[in-house]
């Protein structure tokens, strides 16, 4: 067994054969030039276009990008829902966004103003029903219940 | 071309260029030719990558290219066998060197000359395994054998080499 290992160690002596350092360095330079690494746009982080593309493909940025896109999509939907009327499918999103916005108003006066603005909105929604050919009584009732809720809030705010 | 591939290729170059040079040197006439073949091996690999080719394992690919180039060289010289040139072993011993270097190179010469007694296939197996530290899986891919067969062949080659040392 020892002899076996000795033979292997003898073979390993071939590792001592090394190319001429100068020639090797010359070859390395030649290949670096050939690969065009230094002038590659993505090798330079200051090259913005490719840098951002590289950053997007990076593992860390992928979840950030997904969250960013989701927020963008949801924000777009919320924005789009602001013109929705009570009989339309995105109306619930409009109410949801208004409610959420209401939660983040901490000043009493601002809250009161916001509540009054919401009553105004509901009234505008009922008013718009008069100009629509297929008048929807359910939509009017939904808007009215909205007014009722907002009025309750306004009264409670005034009491406090 | 993707920067990742370029930098990967450069890493492979740094790791395998000296190894391939050694591999070529032990199979051709002269140092100059070994240098040319090594350089050509990398050039061919780069051209393949540039065309959009995919390389699963760089060591396997590089050694395959180098081996083909060596075979082509010997074919063009109309020599059937690929012998280990004694001139190469001799050229390692330069008497203008320091005494320690001479004795080190004498040892090296002995190893190369005893390896010369093996068949080319066995020499390649031993070289890949013990000189260039390739994995059995890589050697199996290169030699077209199953891993178990590679183990057995390496064992037999070492045993044969041992008999020359005895």
Mutate to test the interface with B, among A19, A45, A50, A51 (most CBs of B within 10 A): A19
Are B153 and B159 in contact by the 8 Å Cβ rule? The answer is no
Q: Compute the Cα dihedral for A22, B90, B82, B137 and give only its sign.
A: negative
Q: Which two tokens stand for residue B128?
A: 């890949």
Q: Is B38 in contact with A13 (Cβ distance < 8 A)?
A: no
Name the B residues in 11-70 with CB < 8 Å from any A CB.
Answer: 13-14, 17-18, 21-22, 25-26, 35, 38-39, 42-43, 46
Rounded to the nearest 5°, which phi and psi values hold at A81?
A: -70, -10
Nearest to B10 by CA among A29, A15, A26: A29
- Chain segment B60-104, per-residue pLDDT in tens: 999 999 999 998 888 887 654 445 555 555 656 555 555 566 666
Mean pLDDT (whole number) for A4-15: 85
Mean pLDDT (whole number) for B119-143: 91
Query: Average per-residue pLDDT in chain A?
Result: 78
Q: Tell me what percent of the residues of chain B surpass a pLDDT of 90.
A: 37
Residue that wins the pLDDT comparison between A56 and A148:
A148
Nearest to B70 by CA among B153, B141, B145, B127: B127
Q: Say which range, A48-52, A109-113, A116-120, B98-102, has the weakest mean pLDDT.
A: A48-52
Q: Which two tokens stand for residue B43?
A: 């050039």
Contacts A–B by Cβ distance under 8 A: 91
Give, as one character, the DSSP assignment of residue A15. Answer: G
Q: Match 């760089």 to its residue by tokens.
A: B58
Query: Average per-residue pLDDT in chain B?
Result: 83
Helices vs strands, H then E, count in chain A:
7, 0
Mean pLDDT (whole number) for B16-36: 89
pLDDT of residue B139: 92
Q: Is B26 in contact with A17 (Cβ distance < 8 A)?
A: yes
Q: Is B112 in contact with A14 (Cβ distance < 8 A)?
A: yes
Mean pLDDT (whole number) for B41-68: 90
Are B166 and A8 in contact by the 8 Å Cβ rule? The answer is no
Q: Is B165 in contact with A34 (Cβ distance < 8 A)?
A: no
């Amino acid at each position: 067994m020892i002899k076996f290992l000795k033979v292997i160690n003898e073979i390993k002596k071939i590792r001592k054969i090394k190319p001429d350092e100068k020639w090797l360095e010359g070859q390395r330079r030649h290949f670096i030039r050939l690969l065009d690494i230094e002038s590659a746009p993505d090798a330079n982080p200051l090259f913005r276009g490719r840098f951002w593309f590289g950053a997007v493909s990076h593992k860390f940025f992928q979840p950030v990008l997904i969250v960013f896109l989701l927020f963008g999509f949801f924000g777009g939907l919320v924005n789009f829902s602001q013109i929705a009327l009570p009989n339309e499918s995105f109306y619930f999103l409009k109410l949801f966004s208004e409610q959420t916005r209401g939660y983040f108003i901490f000043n009493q006066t601002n809250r009161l103003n916001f509540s009054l603005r919401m009553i105004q909105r509901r009234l505008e929604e009922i008013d718009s029903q008069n100009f629509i050919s297929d008048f929807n009584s359910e939509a009017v009732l939904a808007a009215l219940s909205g007014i009722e809720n907002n009025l309750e809030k306004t009264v409670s705010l005034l009491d406090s | 071309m993707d920067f990742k591939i370029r930098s990967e290729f450069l890493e492979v170059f740094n790791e395998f260029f000296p190894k391939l040079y050694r591999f070529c040197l032990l199979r051709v006439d002269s140092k100059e030719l070994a240098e040319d073949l090594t350089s050509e091996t990398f050039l061919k690999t780069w051209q393949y990558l540039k065309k959009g080719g995919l390389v699963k394992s760089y060591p396997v690919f590089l050694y395959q290219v180098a081996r083909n180039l060596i075979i082509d060289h010997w074919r063009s010289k109309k020599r059937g066998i690929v012998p280990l040139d004694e001139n190469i072993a001799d050229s390692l011993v330069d008497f203008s060197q320091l005494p320690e270097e001479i004795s080190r190179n004498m040892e090296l010469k002995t190893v190369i000359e005893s390896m010369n007694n093996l068949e080319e296939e066995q020499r390649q197996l031993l070289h890949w395994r013990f000189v260039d530290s390739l994995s059995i899986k890589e050697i199996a891919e290169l030699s077209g054998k199953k891993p178990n067969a590679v183990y057995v062949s390496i064992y037999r080659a070492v045993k044969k080499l041992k008999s020359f040392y005895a």
